[in-house]
């Protein structure tokens, strides 16, 4: 068994709707171990740096504005095949297309306000985790 890590962000819409506790319970009940977690509010510079991969996309400004609109919860999740497993648990980016019993179906309202973010590859998970957490903050 090879445990891997992935980054999860509970987005401002889910925090504002007070869904973050339910999301955390959901993740733990699915078998994820939360090895790091913090609540914070991103600055514009931080959000632009984190989403730099999307800077040429038409939605970049709206995404940054949304992600700085309120608090977020950044988490490092650990599980077997964590990236793929978390992407399944999140569901489709569009909550209307997401399968039942996925985070985005349960707690998202639209493509932008879809409750959670997750890394899309092991390589990006490593990069994204290091954006928010030092190795000292991770429980091994």
What is 101-112 written as a DSSP string?
TSHHHHH--SSS
What are 26-57's pLDDT values in tens digits?
A: 999 999 999 999 999 999 999 999 999 999 99
Provide CB contacts within 8 A for 30, sequence distance 6+.
Answer: 85, 89
Q: Which residue in 114, 109, 138, 112 sits closest to 126, CA to CA? A: 138
Tell me what the pLDDT averaged over the chain comes to: 96
Task: Please report the pLDDT score of residue 2 as a whole number.
Answer: 82
Q: Which residue in 132, 134, 131, 118 sits closest to 4, CA to CA? A: 118
What are 61-86's pLDDT values in tens digits?
A: 999 999 999 999 999 999 999 999 99
Q: Which residue in 38, 39, 33 sits closest to 139, CA to CA? A: 33
- For the chain, domains (ranges, CATH) are 3-133 (3.30.70.141)
Catalytic residues: 117
Cβ proximity of 82 and 32 under 8 Å: yes
3-state secondary structure of 78: strand
User: From the CA atom positions of the chain, what is the Rg in Å?
Assistant: 14
Q: Which residue in 119, 140, 117, 35 sits closest to 78, CA to CA? A: 35
Give percent above pLDDT 70 in the chain. 99
User: Residue 1 pLDDT more than 70?
Assistant: no
Name the band, by pLDDT with cuts 50, 70 and 90, for residue 139: confident
**Between the CA atoms of 138, 118, 90 and 104, what dihedral angle is there, to the nearest 10 degrees?**
120
Name the band, by pLDDT with cuts 50, 70 and 90, for residue 88: very high
Name the band, by pLDDT with cuts 50, 70 and 90, for residue 115: very high
């Amino acid at each position: 068994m090879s445990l891997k890590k992935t980054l999860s962000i509970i987005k401002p819409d889910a925090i504002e709707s007070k869904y973050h506790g339910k999301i955390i319970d959901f993740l733990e009940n699915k078998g994820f171990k939360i090895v790091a977690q913090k609540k914070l509010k991103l600055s514009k510079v931080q959000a632009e740096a984190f989403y730099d991969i999307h800077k040429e996309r038409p939605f970049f400004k709206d995404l940054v504005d949304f992600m700085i609109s309120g608090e977020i919860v950044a988490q490092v999740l650990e599980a077997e095949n964590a990236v793929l497993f978390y992407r399944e648990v999140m569901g489709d980016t569009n909550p209307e297309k997401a399968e039942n019993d996925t985070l985005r179906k349960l707690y998202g309202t639209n493509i932008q306000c879809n409750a959670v973010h997750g890394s899309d590859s092991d390589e990006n998970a490593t990069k994204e985790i290091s954006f928010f957490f030092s190795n000292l903050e991770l429980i091994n």
